[in-house]
Structure 1
Amino acid sequence: MSETIKKFDGVSFDTKEKTMMIENGTEGTYDYRKIKRALVLNEKAKFKGSQPPFTQLLPHGPGIPAILTDPYVYVGVKIVMDDETILCVYTSKEKTQTGTNQYIEDRKRAKEIEEFLLKIIHKYHTNDSND
């Protein structure tokens, strides 16, 4: 792989072409200069793939009553583009429960992607006027 490719679990970034290739989530190649926001979220597992990404969320943290009735989630990064298109990168390969080792690892990988995306957003949107 060339040094212009930055690879994460589920998504790769081509710094020469200024694109991201999503392999787990909203599959495809997108211009990463058009990313407006990025946020790590938990999507309720039973809704994954049946609705637009991250419309059914489970908050992160302990003591959530929803986990008693529907404890399974997919962890990922919600990406909002300039035109308000919603993209997603899932770091969970299978459904998980909050607090488990798998969940902690999935969330850690999602935070790494989010941090990289925030650097991109800062680089290409620092001179934008307020939306």
Structure 2
Amino acid sequence: MSETIKYFDGVSFNLNDKTMTIENGTNGTFDYRRIKRALVLNEKAKFKGSQPPFTQLLPHGPGIPAILTDPYVYVGVKIVMDDETILCVYTSKEETQTGTDQYIEDRKRAKEIEAFFRKIIHKYQPSEA
């Protein structure tokens, strides 16, 4: 069974059914063949859950003025489906600050998920890759 299910922190993929189950983010089961785009982003912590996912972003990188006033974020992967529906997988279990060890670890896990999404996109929507 482990060969047919691929697990990541916050999301698992059933390779037989071609579905993904999101446990941390937009909870539910979705057909992963419909993924159009995926991108690692930082969502401002105070907006998580109060708006559609990843509407309030904090850019990644040094020298960000917003970090001085509102430094807390959740790291995750924004997923755009072929019908333009927005889904998300959060790799942050709790709010974090850019540059911290926790942030670096959350971002690393998000990049692993994003890479897996890119393989899926390349396979099922090659013109979008």
Tell me if both proteins adopt one fold, taking TM over 0.5 as the criterion. yes
What does 1:23-42 correspond to in 2, within 5 Å?
23-42=23-42
Amino acid at match of 2:61: G
- Which residue does the alignment assign to 2:94? 94
- Which residue does the alignment assign to 1:59? 59
TM-score (norm 2): 0.97
TM-score (norm 1): 0.96
1:77 is the counterpart of 2:77: yes
Shift of 1:96: 0.1
- Identity of matched residues, %: 86
Alignment RMSD, CA only? Answer: 0.9
Shift of 1:104: 0.0
How many residues matched?
Answer: 128
Amino acid at match of 2:53: P
| Structure 2 gap ranges (5+) | none
1:112 is the counterpart of 2:112: yes
Post-superposition, which runs of at least 4 consecutive aligned residues in structure 1 deviate over 4 A? none
Shift of 1:3: 1.4
Shift of 1:2: 3.0
Distance 1:2 1:117 in 2: 19
- Which residue does the alignment assign to 2:2? 2
- Which residue does the alignment assign to 1:21? 21
| Structure 1 gap ranges (5+) | none
Distance 2:93 2:84 in 1: 26
**What are the superposed Cα offsets for residues 54-83 of structure 1, whole Å, 9 maximum, x if unpaired?**
000000001100000000000000000000
**What are the superposed Cα offsets for residues 13-65 of structure 1, whole Å, 9 maximum, x if unpaired?**
00000000000000000000000000000000000000000000000001100
Distance 1:38 1:2 in 2: 24
